Amino acid sequence: MCSYFFLIFSLPLFIFLKEKKKQLENNYNYFQYAVYGVKKVLNTIRNIKKYDNLKNYLLAYFLYIDAVNTIIFFSGIFARKTLNLNYIELAVFFIIVQVTAMIGSMIFAVLGDKLGIKKSIIITLLFWTLIVFFIFLFVNENSFINILGYSIHIFFYCGWFCWHFSWGNTEFIKSVNGKTYP
Residue 51 is inside which H or E element, if any?
none
pLDDT of residue 148: 86
Phi and psi angles of residue 76, each rounded to the nearest 5 degrees, phi first = -65, -40
pLDDT of residue 117: 77
Phi and psi angles of residue 88, each rounded to the nearest 5 degrees, phi first = -65, -45
Q: Which of 62-71, 127-136, 158-167 has the lowest mean pLDDT?
A: 158-167
Residue 35 is inside which H or E element, if any?
helix 30-46
| Cα–Cα dist 104/164, whole Å | 4
Phi and psi angles of residue 151, each rounded to the nearest 5 degrees, phi first = -95, 115
pLDDT of residue 177: 65
* pLDDT tier for residue 171 given thresholds of 50, 70 and 90: low
Closest listed residue to residue 124, CA positions, set 139, 100, 105, 138: 105
Q: What is the pLDDT of residues 76-125, one digit of tens each?
A: 888 888 888 889 988 888 888 888 877 877 777 788 788 887 788 788 88
Q: What is the pLDDT of residues 113-155, one digit of tens each?
A: 888 877 887 888 888 888 888 888 888 888 888 888 888 888 8
Residue 8 makes CB contacts below 8 A (sequence gap 6+) with none
Residue 97 makes CB contacts below 8 A (sequence gap 6+) with 159, 160, 163, 166
Helices (H) and strands (E) in the chain, counts: 7, 2
pLDDT of residue 180: 64
**Domain limits of the chain?**
55-180
pLDDT of residue 115: 84
| Cα–Cα dist 41/182, whole Å | 9
Q: Is 113 helix (H, G, I), strand (E, B) or coil?
A: helix
Closest listed residue to residue 85, CA positions, set 141, 131, 138, 136: 141
Q: What is the pLDDT of residues 2-13, one digit of tens each?
A: 677 677 877 887
**Kind of pairing between the strands at 150-153 and 144-147:** antiparallel
| Cα–Cα dist 160/2, whole Å | 17
pLDDT of residue 178: 64
pLDDT of residue 1: 61
* pLDDT tier for residue 167 given thresholds of 50, 70 and 90: low
* pLDDT tier for residue 21 given thresholds of 50, 70 and 90: low
pLDDT of residue 179: 66
Q: Is 70 helix (H, G, I), strand (E, B) or coil?
A: helix
